[in-house]
Structure 1
Amino acid sequence: MSDYYDRTEDAKYTRVYKEQTPDILKAFAEFDQAVFATEGREIPLRYRELIALAVGLTTQCVYCIDGHSRRAVAAGATEAELAETAWVATAIRAGGGYAHGRLGFKLSGAADHQH
């Protein structure tokens, strides 16, 4: 992971978005700020950050894992909550494999060939 990920250096590449698609970047930044607003949301920020961390773990996005784990702790999350978040993400990812495995059986037609 460290061979391609550099928190400080990678941020410099945001300039491409700024130069090529500044309107979309602005809209995305405003959207993200609304989603993770400190106040005015039903789900407390700590939990929203833990949800974001779980999604990052599930999609295996190192940037999301880095940012949202730090932001979750800054919002008051404990190591126990980080651990449970990782297990929730793991269970969902494994459950997806289980459920889609059934779809594989269905779509394979193998059951049609059994006597």
Structure 2
Amino acid sequence: MTEKDISAYGRVYKKHTPDIMKTWGEFNSAVFSEEREVPVKYLELIAIGVAMTTQCEYCIESHTARAVEAGATDAELAEASWVAAALRAGGAFTHGRLAFKNAEEHRHTH
């Protein structure tokens, strides 16, 4: 299924929850506004890192396009990618410590 095939289903949101769609659009526009303290290029690089972490290919595509339009370089895109990779790895490391804690507790109760 292509993005065009999927994007057509946005009409379901518009039909059943137009108020939420309107609010969502306004919120998204406010978050990525040029009136923010953080420049748009950096907002978009943050969004790319988050999108890579959540693994949303559509967010990666759209925020990459916006970042490039705002002047992001390939080096900046690469660094945003590595930041996302480091945070995902850090999450696994942290959850590994939780596994050790849970194992210890399990051993003491059984």
TM (norm. structure 2) is 0.92
Shift of 1:110: 6.3
**Partner Cα distance (2:93, 2:60) in 1:** 24
The Cα shift of 1:83 comes to 0.4
State the match for 1:32 in structure 2: 28
Aligned length: 108
* CA RMSD after TM alignment: 1.5
What are the Cα deviations for residues 51-90 of structure 1, in whole angstroms up to 9, with x where unaligned? 0000000110011111111111011100000000000000
- Aligned amino acid, residue 84 of structure 2: A
- Partners of 2:3 and 2:32 lie apart in 1 by 20
1:23 maps to 2:19: yes
* Unpaired runs of at least 5, structure 1: none
Q: Percent identity?
A: 55
Q: Which ranges of structure 2 fall in alignment gaps of 5 or more residues?
A: none
The partner residue of 2:7 within 8, 11, 15 is 11
